[in-house]
Amino acid sequence: MERHEALEIVKKQLTDHRYQHTLGVMETAIALAKQYGADEKKAELAAIFHDYAKFRPKEEMKQIILEQNMPNDLLSHNTELWHAPVGAYLVQTEVGIDDEDILNAIRYHTSGRSDMTLLEKIIYIADYIEPGRIFKGVEEVRELAKHDLDEALIEALKNTIQFLLKKNQPIYPMTIDTYNALMMKKKGESVSE
Ligand code: DGI
Ligand code: FE
Ligand code: FE
């Protein structure tokens, strides 16, 4: 699918602000794909569609989670988590994208997961550091992403988890799994321990 066609489709699903964010994620994801040797076309499409379901009614998303046998624990956690797996489903069924790599990058863009693919990491980080993002700690993650994707991911996850802790919010287990997997991989690589 051509970029202009994908953008035309997603624009109808989003607010102008969210569309501008999507363009930022697209540019950032393509740059990261170039730098780290991922498929640039897949990065482009995954970025364009990553927030496809962001504005779907909660009832519709809940229905899809139940009917498609998605992890049940989603329903007891922050509804903000739902648009990622529901987005993957809708991008496949409504847009017709069947590439599992692209769909997984959309599916895991909010929580991550253990053993993320390069493309999944790129979309997670691009979503976090695109030029429109201005929250505290983003600059550190931008710097780290220039040299080491895993370090950038760890920093972004730490920030997200800390942010949720401060707001007295539960942490979705898959977010913790993502953090743990990266920290254990790092420990395994270090010679001093
Ligand atoms: O869709 P975006 O705003 O571009 O970004 P996103 O898909 O990363 O969603 C961020 C939202 O998801 C933000 O409100 C925090 C929330 N979130 C992310 N991880 C977790 C989480 N909420 C809970 N409760 N637990 C998590 O692990
Ligand atoms: Fe999102
Ligand atoms: Fe996003």
The fraction of the chain above a pLDDT of 70, given in percent, is 98
**Best mutation site among 58, 80, 121 for ligand 1 pocket (most ligand atoms within 8 Å of CB):** 80
The fraction of the chain above a pLDDT of 90, given in percent, is 95
List, as one string, the DSSP characters of 15-65: -HHHHHHHHHHHHHHHHHHHHHT--HHHHHHHHHHTTTTTTS-HHHHHHHH
Q: Residue 186 — very low, low, confident or very high, per pLDDT cuts 50/70/90?
A: confident
Render pLDDT for 163-172 as a digit per residue (tens, 0 to 9).
999 999 999 9
Number of Cβ within a 10 Å radius of residue 172: 22
**The tokens 């922050």 sit on which residue?**
78
List ligand 1's pocket residues with C-beta within 6 A. 51, 54, 77-78, 80-81, 84, 109-111, 127, 160, 164, 169-172, 175
In our burial notation (b when 16+ CB lie closer than 10 A, e otherwise), range 98-120 reads: ebebbbbbbbbbbbbbeebebbb
Q: Is residue 189's pLDDT more than 60? A: yes
On average, the pLDDT of the chain sits at 96
Q: What is the pLDDT of residue 188?
A: 85
Render pLDDT for 7-50 as a digit per residue (tens, 0 to 9).
999 999 999 999 999 999 999 999 999 999 999 999 999 999 99
- Average pLDDT on 47-59 reads 98
Predicted model pTM: 0.95
> Which amino acid residue places its CA nearest to atom 9 of ligand 1?
110
Q: What is the pLDDT of residue 192?
A: 57
> Residue 38 Cα, ligand 2 centroid: separation in angstroms?
21
Domains and CATH numbers, the chain: 3-136 (1.10.3210.10)
> Residue 123 Cα, ligand 2 centroid: separation in angstroms?
10
> Residue 193 Cα, ligand 1 centroid: separation in angstroms?
33
**The tokens 């996850």 sit on which residue?**
157
- As a whole number of angstroms, the distance between CA 81 and CA 65 comes to 11
> Residue 51 Cα, ligand 3 centroid: separation in angstroms?
5
- Average pLDDT on 60-66 reads 98
